[in-house]
Structure 1
């Protein structure tokens, strides 16, 4: 072997070592910058000063024992911004126990929650029925829109049927807004809510185009799993905490063979409740980087 060949081999070894050292240094620097921007703490920066949500309470007219400590009128009332109301007026006041029994099944129509309110024979507003009282009317308030979409004509018809059945049971009358007007309000509210959805994302630049197949294999090894055609980081219950995109495109919609950027997207309204949601996503992003 000539001196030239030995020199070329030595030069090649040196260049390889230089590349390895440079990559190691670049990785260390990137991880340091990520920790500066997204430090791992016990408190999520997006969840500061959050009061734990109270336990879920099913809608409906509940029955409270008579007590002198109760206010003259209940403060909770219909929300005209997000509910539509059907009024049922009774010919004669209905005792609280009979009304409570008749309204136990009136909790929802389709995917929309129904809240019930009442007025006693003195005209006092009630969100909770009280023992010993009688009631002259009931309001059925249905949610106009939620994550399942706007209130449908079928759901509104179901609520109207419920109101009619209640009126027939206690010899009452039904009054409510026109269906077309309610549907228009529901569509407007749904469009407004869709524009307010909160999404938080992180972008990871790959430093060059990488084959999609290679990147997919690596992110799966890191813990991402396919869920409904998208790569997602799943909770213990199997629900997506956040999803992974290639150059801003869902995995199922990728048409190119290469990818330059990985995006992690946290869809806040659709994600499981998690006080460490953003910190968890940032930690996964650091590991991928």
Structure 2
């Protein structure tokens, strides 16, 4: 065999080795990162006995939702309903309209429970000496309009007739004007923040994301591909949300599902200022980006620097002050209803 032939053979071998190495590197790079297997120790295991590794599953159920807040003149148009006799909760429930909405706005009826000395949604077995019907004047769908107000009047009147009551309605134009002003305020002071964590190199599997997020207090949400950071103060409104492609979570083999980005979200008006939600959001984003080899970006894919995060935090403090001045403090029942 000539030296030329030997040289070609060696060159061919080198090319083949490079191709194999490149293919292995590409495969490894494109394979979603998997969560670490964590051995579980049991009391029954004998010393030296082998235990099978399992994935961390530190997922706790979400706290039970709180009771719905009462009607409030700050954000509701309210019509008192006088009755000349005590009405049972069973009778009030039977007279309730089939739907609890007027157009795109929540509608509610409350009765005054003499025993508890409080307004509440009518309950069976209770007795009520007066009632009030209300409709929310604004939400993220806009302000209450004349058509919705008319529907409110019809629903409240029908309920009053069924229990033998007499309603007293506010002036429509006054309510509509108040609704527009409230909607204008809400529209200029609503805030929903979102950061996107993007993988720098290898993609992530759903289990990998869940394991890392779980280390920072996130638990499984009600929707596939969503996790939340629960609040210890308000069970119905988690502090943060973390979401990724739900199809990846629902795949037959989630371990092979490639996730290249996850979104951290904060509904500012729904979380109390005292819980420092933006601090938690910023810290979670930085920690997850570091541990998962990712980067923090905006919706357009632009990297967000640390100094930009500080500016956002300062702007939020001004927003909190404005909400407080209107008795619509972030995280309050009224703010959560208005910004919904």
Give me the TM-score of the superposition, normalised by structure 1: 0.48
Question: Per residue, is there more strand in 1 or in 2?
Answer: 1
Give me the TM-score of the superposition, normalised by structure 2: 0.42
